[in-house]
């Protein structure tokens, strides 16, 4: 029996993980269940029963040593690990009365998640600035002008991402 | 163990307090989740993301230590330092409750 599958291409920013969780939940309500994540923006869904499912994302680039222990903890709590993409761990659990639908049950640990994301960006930034700097060693004009504009665009994106995540953390601290 | 090294961990967050309370006996992750829910009469539930982070931080601070690893589950228990921190927090809460109750009574008298 063949099972229907569809692919969707969608991009979610790191600070919009709750939007992504909501979207995956909506897909499940329509009977489309996440099956596979393909770098960088492809989601594969398979056909199934429409169900109310909670999807939750953790940003945690778990190393091989810790992986089994980490996943087992979630599995014991009823969370199925659907996949992993660039350090983001995708979990889902069918909504049931009395079952807490959150993997993070206090603000502190939610803040820790965004701090992990922030430290990755902060670690990449100096590397990026060095490469940006060296691209400016070349003369203005032609190919290098395109590279410079592109590089500047990415730098701005970096800074926007860092700012947005800071804002997310602040909202959690205040809320 | 001097007072200052204990004090710096206070006040504990609600989740952390209950996790330490549960680890008076060795438990693995899911065991902690269940015990916290039982101790708190269903009021406090700890999610796996929160618990995993808490275990890492508490182990690093040497308030708990891993005592066993079986079937991909790590079991933890309070260290002496962890027990001291927990007791200090409990004492502090008891004092706050007593003071609050006294003020409340004085006001209604």
pTM: 0.88
pLDDT values of chain A reduced to their tens digit, one per residue, 175 residues: 456 899 999 988 888 999 999 999 999 999 999 999 998 889 999 999 999 999 999 999 898 999 999 999 999 999 999 999 989 999 999 998 877 899 999 999 999 999 999 988 888 888 777 777 776 666 666 777 777 788 888 888 888 998 999 999 999 998 7
Do A75 and A114 lie in one domain? The reply is no
The span from the first CA to the last CA of chain A, in angstroms, equals: 49
Confirm if A77 and A46 have CB atoms less than 8 A apart: no
CA B81 from chain centre, in angstroms, equals 12
A90/B contact by beta carbon, under 8 A: no
Domain hosting residue A54, numbered range: 5-94
Do A9 and A38 lie in one domain? The reply is yes
A8, β-bridge pairs: A43
Q: Is residue A102 part of a domain?
A: no
Do A74 and A114 lie in one domain? The reply is no
How many CB contacts within 8 angstroms connect chain A with chain B? Answer: 64
Do A114 and A152 lie in one domain? The reply is yes
Report d(CA A6, CA A36) in Å as an integer.
11
Do A84 and A124 lie in one domain? The reply is no
Confirm if A72 and A114 have CB atoms less than 8 A apart: no
Do A89 and A141 lie in one domain? The reply is no
A99/B contact by beta carbon, under 8 A: no
How far is the CA of B42 from the CAs of A37, A46, A105, in angstroms? 36, 36, 14
E strands, A88-140, where? 88-94
Do A33 and A89 lie in one domain? The reply is yes
How many structural domains is chain A composed of? 2
Closest residue in A to B55 (Cα–Cα): A70
Do A11 and A90 lie in one domain? The reply is yes
pLDDT, one tens digit per residue, over B21-68 is: 999 999 999 999 999 999 999 999 999 999 999 999 999 999 999 999
Report d(CA A11, CA B39) in Å as an integer.
43
Do A27 and A64 lie in one domain? The reply is yes
Where among A41, A70, A94 does a domain terminate? A94
Q: Is residue A166 part of a domain?
A: yes
**How far A70 CA lies from chain B's nearest CA (Å)?**
7
CB-based contact B50 A103, cutoff 8 Å = yes
Q: Is residue A101 part of a domain?
A: no
CB-based contact B52 A56, cutoff 8 Å = no
What per-residue string of b and e applies to A42-73 under the rule 16 or more CB within 10 Å gives b? Answer: ebbbeeeeeeebbbbbbbbebeeeeeebbbbb
Using CB atoms, pick whichever of A79, A108, A113 lies closest to residue B48: A79
CB-based contact A106 B15, cutoff 8 Å = yes
Do A16 and A83 lie in one domain? The reply is yes
Report d(CA A110, CA A169) in Å as an integer.
8
pLDDT-based confidence at residue B1 (cuts at 50, 70, 90)? low
* Structural domains of chain B in order of their starting residue, each with its CATH number: 11-108 (1.10.10.10)
Report d(CA A112, CA B57) in Å as an integer.
11
Q: Is residue A99 part of a domain?
A: no
How far is the CA of B83 from the CAs of A68, A129, B7, B29, B31, in angstroms? 28, 47, 13, 18, 19
Where among A94, A128, A145 does a domain terminate? A94
Do A28 and A79 lie in one domain? The reply is yes
Portion 40-69 of A in contact with B at CB < 8 A: 56, 58, 60, 68-69
């Amino acid at each position: 029996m063949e099972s229907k599958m569809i692919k969707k291409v969608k991009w979610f920013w790191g600070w919009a993980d709750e939007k992504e969780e909501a979207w995956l939940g909506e897909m499940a309500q329509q009977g489309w269940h996440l099956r596979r994540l393909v770098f960088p923006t492809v989601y594969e869904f398979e056909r199934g029963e429409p169900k109310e499912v909670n999807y939750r994302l953790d940003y945690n680039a778990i190393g091989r040593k810790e992986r089994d222990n980490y996943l087992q903890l979630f599995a014991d709590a009823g969370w199925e690990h659907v996949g992993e993409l660039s350090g983001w761990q995708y979990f889902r659990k069918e909504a049931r009365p009395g079952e807490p639908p959150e993997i993070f049950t206090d603000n502190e640990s939610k803040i820790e998640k965004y701090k992990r994301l922030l430290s990755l960006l902060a670690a990449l930034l100096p590397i990026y600035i060095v490469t940006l700097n060296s691209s400016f060693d070349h003369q203005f004009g032609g190919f290098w002008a395109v590279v410079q504009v592109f590089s500047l665009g990415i730098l701005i994106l970096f800074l926007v991402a860092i700012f947005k995540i800071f804002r997310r953390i602040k909202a959690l601290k205040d809320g | 163990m001097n007072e200052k090294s204990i004090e710096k961990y206070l006040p504990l967050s609600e989740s952390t307090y209950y996790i330490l309370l549960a680890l008076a006996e060795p438990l693995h992750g899911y065991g902690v989740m269940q015990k916290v829910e039982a101790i708190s009469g269903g009021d406090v539930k700890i999610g796996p993301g929160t618990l995993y982070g808490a275990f890492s931080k508490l182990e690093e601070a040497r308030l708990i230590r891993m005592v066993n690893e079986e079937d991909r589950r790590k079991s933890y228990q309070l260290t002496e330092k962890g027990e001291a921190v927990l007791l200090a927090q409990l004492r502090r809460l008891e004092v706050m409750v007593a003071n609050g109750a006294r003020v409340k009574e004085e006001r209604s008298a």
